[in-house]
Amino acid sequence: MRLTQNTNNNYTTRQLKLPLEIEKLIDTADPVYTFCEVMDRIDLTPYFVDDKDYKTGRPRCDAQKLLKVILFAFMERGISSLRDIEKLCKNDIRFLYLLDGMKAPSFATFGNFIRDELTTSVEMIFNDINRYIFMKEQVDLEHAYIDGTKMEANANRYTWVWKKSCVKNRGKVFEKISELIDSMNREVLGYLGIKFETREEYAVDYLELLLKQYREITALDTTAFVSGRGHHKTLHQKQYQTLEEYLERLKSYAKHIEICGEDRNSYAKTDHDATFMRIKKDYMGNDQLLPAYNVQAAICDEYIAVMDVKQYASDQDCFIPLMEKFKKAYGHYPKYPVADAGYGSYNNYLYCEEHDMEKYMKFTMFEKETKSEAYRNNPYRAVNFRRDTEGNLICPNGRKFIFKYNRHIKGNQYGRQEEIYECENCEGCPYRAECCKSSKKNRIIRLNRELTAFHEEVISNLESIQGALLCMNRSIQSEGTFGIIKWDRSYKRLFRRGIENVILELTLISCGYNLYKYHNKKKRDCNQAA
């Protein structure tokens, strides 16, 4: 055959030769086989829409193949951009193996699939993956090691709104509106026999009504307003525009306060669900105030059993939602939830008491209680005061503390109260400098016997041999999990905005992590057996 110019230009000696079975090119110990083992035993059909009824347009990509490609990318790389996944589908033989003859999808296809299909079903898929892995590995779900970390949000760092500042500035605007209304009554409306009512707080509807009435009473033509240098504004225009400006400011403050809600004190302008929190940035503990989410995880035998995302900085408020999510996923609560001092609170202890969970969560002063003998045996601490035969508290100087009243505990969801006592007389007491901080008033103490009993139980649990082992395991498993995700897999900042999208992203990360951990355990077991 004679070679033409065109054929000669297209000819190359480097021809790709593939065997009939692509899997022969993949090493037998490759993670893709472990991945297929798990995914082939999970029924994915309930999570995707059947496209048999579509009669027009190009055929859709196989949803199950798309899911497998995405999860394997998260298993192998931790976090991958959609464009990187597209390149892997074209160049990596393992991804070609998962596609099984399907053309490599574009990054837009992956993005649409994640947004449209996985947003509602990803947590159920995560639970199905865990169910298979936990059955194969005989994972102990009675012991849950709990920890949290703050992940920086995908938001501008210095564009935040503070709820307290909005409330404070709104109060100042209320005062200015009252002064303006008084001026309008005195300078304009009084001559017409009309008076606007002043209030302590002003609603938006009320100010809009005042603007309408003022415009009608004074026959004010807003289209004839003047502005700029060289123009003199009338008194009516000045008052009207000033009130209009105050109205717009109140609308802005109301919007900011509504976005923050009751449980938050700030939000980021570029991601309204993100809250500003203190985040540790380096090994020296230097931190910054950045928009972030509080990511919570319950670890069982080195696997992520439950992952949750909250918008508030305190870990105390994250414990109960995490345990409820655990119960929903596995049908029961963990018998031994182990956590650090950030989770030890009255509400959480009561919650554990109600649901038959052992208390292995440190409280704020745990280290001092257990390691500082001087603090523990301090005679001026209220818990160390003795009681007389009548049950009255007696201070080291022998003076009686009189019961005053019961007070509701701030933030307690169970209606619990604490007892308030006041010393009968602190004058002339030789221990006043050590016992009472106030130099003029009698000492007042607060007592909660139930919380004190909880603290004693926690100390007893954690100082036992089992408690020491559980604390050691918690530091290894829970903190080690976040260490692997952040440092080994380079996932230190969120990529998506909005709490629903953040939950989606972190659930995919958790799926990839558990598959990665399962493969490593299988590989380790095989090496030990050999």
- Does residue 333 belong to any structural domain of this protein? no
DSSP state, 104?
P
Segments of the chain with pLDDT less than 70: 1-24, 49-57, 282-285, 411, 413-415, 439, 530
H or E element, residue 208: helix 204-217
Residues 184, 257 within the same domain: yes
Residues 131, 165 within the same domain: no
State which of 448, 474, 498 marks the end of a domain: 448
Give the C-alpha separation, 185 to 396, whole Å.
Answer: 65
Contacts of 363 (CB under 8 A, 6+ apart): 341, 344, 345, 455, 458
Which of 196-199's residues contact partners 24+ apart within 8 Å by CB, and which partners?
Answer: 199/174
Residue 347 near residue 410 (C-beta atoms within 8 A): no
What pLDDT score was predicted for residue 405? 84
- Does residue 406 belong to any structural domain of this protein? yes
Strands (E), 258-335: 266-268, 275-280, 287-300, 303-310
State which of 402, 425, 448 marks the end of a domain: 448
What pLDDT score was predicted for residue 448? 85
- Does residue 514 belong to any structural domain of this protein? yes
Residues 27, 125 within the same domain: yes
The angle formed by the CA atoms of residues 523, 528 and 530, to the nearest 5 degrees, is 95
- Does residue 416 belong to any structural domain of this protein? yes
Give the C-alpha separation, 78 to 516, whole Å.
Answer: 9
Which residues form the domain of 211? 161-266
What pLDDT score was predicted for residue 1? 45
Total count of domains within the chain: 3
- Does residue 304 belong to any structural domain of this protein? no
Give the C-alpha separation, 424 to 401, whole Å.
Answer: 6
Residues 74, 125 within the same domain: yes
Q: What percent of the chain has pLDDT over 70?
A: 92
Residues 27, 120 within the same domain: yes
Alpha-carbon torsion (290, 295, 299, 304), positive or negative: negative
Give the C-alpha separation, 323 to 317, whole Å.
Answer: 11
CB-based burial, 438-474: b 16+ in 10 Å, e otherwise: eeeebbebebbeebeebbeebbebbeeeebeebbebb
Residues 32, 126 within the same domain: yes
Give the C-alpha separation, 342 to 150, whole Å.
Answer: 13
What pLDDT score was predicted for residue 502? 95
What pLDDT score was predicted for residue 256? 95
Q: What is the pLDDT of residues 444-475, one digit of tens each?
A: 888 888 888 999 999 999 999 999 999 999 99
Q: What is the pLDDT of residues 101-149, one digit of tens each?
A: 889 999 999 999 999 889 889 999 999 999 999 999 999 999 999 999 9
State which of 231, 251, 266 marks the end of a domain: 266
Residues 132, 205 within the same domain: no
What pLDDT score was predicted for residue 22? 63
Give the C-alpha separation, 125 to 132, whole Å.
Answer: 11
DSSP state, 487?
I
What pLDDT score was predicted for residue 5? 55
DSSP state, 271?
B
Residues 115, 173 within the same domain: no
Give the C-alpha separation, 324 to 141, whole Å.
Answer: 14
- Does residue 284 belong to any structural domain of this protein? no
Residues 44, 130 within the same domain: yes
- Does residue 372 belong to any structural domain of this protein? no
Question: How far out from the chain centre does Cα 287 lie?
Answer: 18
Residues 183, 241 within the same domain: yes
What pLDDT score was predicted for residue 454? 92
What pLDDT score was predicted for residue 397? 86
- Does residue 54 belong to any structural domain of this protein? yes
Residues 53, 119 within the same domain: yes
Contacts of 365 (CB under 8 A, 6+ apart): 375
Residues 132, 167 within the same domain: no
* Concatenated DSSP letters of 172-194: HHHHHHHHHHHHHHHHTGGGGT-
